[in-house]
Structure 1
Amino acid sequence: MLDTLQKTINYRFKDQALLECAMTHKSCKKLFNNERLEFLGDAVVDLVVGEYLFDRFPRYQEGKLSKIRASIVNEEGLTILSKAIGLNQCIYLSASEESNHGREKPSILADAFEALIGAIFLESGFEEAKRIILFWVKKFYDSIDFDQIISDYKTSLQELTQAQFGVIPEYILLQEMGPDHKKSFKMAIQIAGKEYAQATGTSKKQAQQECAKIAYKILQHS
């Protein structure tokens, strides 16, 4: 499967161990996993997509560009790219994570995409990572009406609370549940000292987005 992946992205790793690391989820309990590469790839993806949008939409202000970028680089957006290149078939998972449908979890797929980009960046540098990111971003997002896909409630809520209250929302981790291979996170959101929502997700980011979505709708109708 790794050979097929490399053909799909038109990139052949000189160090196959680096690719294996990028595809190894932490549930495997090996001496290595893709968390550090995911951290690195996250920064590279953000920069490349940010530059792409900056050039493509010269009249858009920072707030709108941030929303559009968030709609592409969030878990849902990266999962689309991850499945398109077949990462869901390449990730190494523990037996328990496999049985829990780990290959379909947005958090795992998005992290794997970022880890892959981090590995390419480490081996071949920024321009090669940029080439691959842009090819797939343009394939799926070049002709989309971005006003239709913006769904970053955290950014929208922050703009709303700054306008209404002069403060930004505070996200509080209430509980971390489950084993390492199947964690979930319960978050709360407070605005000006008042709690507006609680939500649970398979990642902190997802739980925060759900909290923000609830709070945003409450404030819009208050």
Structure 2
Amino acid sequence: MTAKIPPLEIGHVFSDPVLLRTALTHRSFGTPNNERLEFLGDGILDCVIADLLYRRFPELPEGDLSRLRANLVRQETLHGLAQQLRIGTLLRLGEGELKSGGAARPSILADALEAVFGAVYLDAGFGAASEVIARLYAPLLAGLKPGQFQKDAKTRLQEWLQGRKKPLPRYVLLETSGAAHEQSFVVACEIDQPALRSQGVGSSRRIAEQNAAEAALKALNP
């Protein structure tokens, strides 16, 4: 007997429910899984959020729009939305992943939500996916204000150094540890003038670099 497709309150009824089942299937469960759908949904989400921000803030420059979009599509935001939808209770996970708390892991929940966006797109087209995303993001978009999010730490550090005609920083990966699905990265931020070396830790190299840059900014106290 075919397993029943779990309900998901996103305002879309799937013509092909198997797409939803696949979107909620982690690779630890087997194949087919949601990795390809997550890739597709990630691109769709970027496009839809860019369009929504472009229309909502007609006077905002590109840099500010990019920062707003980065905040809306980051893992933390997707994780929060996935929690609201109780996606963790619907995921199909392998036994090991289930026992290790995979149903609550932010990266798994965020990826699953992006996979759902990809599944909606394949099921009913870009318009349907746009409507689902716009509906889910409506409260977040309503609360946005221009200039709400400052430039990220790496950008601020680079601009501080450039403004003083100093060499740009280097980011060096020092260490990677942990299993593939929950790795930890340690990155050093090295500055020649003034001589400074800071470190940052994160669940991705990008996050570790940002944390290292933030530590450098605190040391420089610009």
- Report TM bin, short chain: 0.7 to 0.9
Report the equivalent of 2:28.
27
Q: Distance in 1 between matches of 2:89 and 2:192?
A: 45
Report the equivalent of 2:82.
82
Q: Distance in 1 between matches of 2:191 and 2:125?
A: 42
Report the equivalent of 2:7.
4
Deviations 1:7-49 (Å, cap 9, x if unpaired)? x112122223222221122233x12322221111111101101
Unaligned 5+ residue runs, structure 2?
none
Question: Greater helix share, 1 or 2?
Answer: 1
Q: Distance in 2 between matches of 1:121 and 1:75?
A: 20
Contact 2:103 / 2:109 at 8 angstroms: preserved in 1? yes
Percent of residue pairs bearing the same amino acid type = 38
Q: Distance in 2 between matches of 1:170 and 1:125?
A: 43
TM-score by length of 1: 0.81
Question: What is the correspondence of 1:26-175 to structure 2 with a 5 Å cutoff?
Answer: 26-28=27-29, 30-145=30-145, 147-148=147-148, 152-157=152-157, 159-160=159-160, 163-164=163-164, 171-175=171-175
| CA gap 1:47/1:99 in 2 versus in 1, 3 angstroms | same
| CA gap 1:165/1:196 in 2 versus in 1, 3 angstroms | farther
Report the equivalent of 1:16.
17
Q: Distance in 2 between matches of 1:42 and 1:117?
A: 8
TM-score by length of 2: 0.81
Alignment: residue pair count = 218
Contact 1:67 / 1:155 at 8 angstroms: preserved in 2? no
Report the equivalent of 2:215.
214
| CA gap 1:166/1:195 in 2 versus in 1, 3 angstroms | closer
| CA gap 1:26/1:168 in 2 versus in 1, 3 angstroms | farther
Which range moves more in the overlay, 181-190 or 82-91? 181-190
1:142 Cα deviation from its structure 2 partner:
1.1
Letter in 2 for 1:12: V
Root-mean-square deviation (CA), in Å? Answer: 2.9
1:171 Cα deviation from its structure 2 partner:
4.5
Letter in 1 for 2:119: A
Contact 2:186 / 2:202 at 8 angstroms: preserved in 1? yes
Larger of the two Rg values belongs to structure: 2
Q: Distance in 2 between matches of 1:180 and 1:11?
A: 33
Deviations 1:185-205 (Å, cap 9, x if unpaired)? 333445679874333323334
1:65 Cα deviation from its structure 2 partner:
0.7
Unaligned 5+ residue runs, structure 1?
none
Q: Distance in 2 between matches of 1:210 and 1:33?
A: 32
| CA gap 1:48/1:38 in 2 versus in 1, 3 angstroms | same
Letter in 2 for 1:3: P
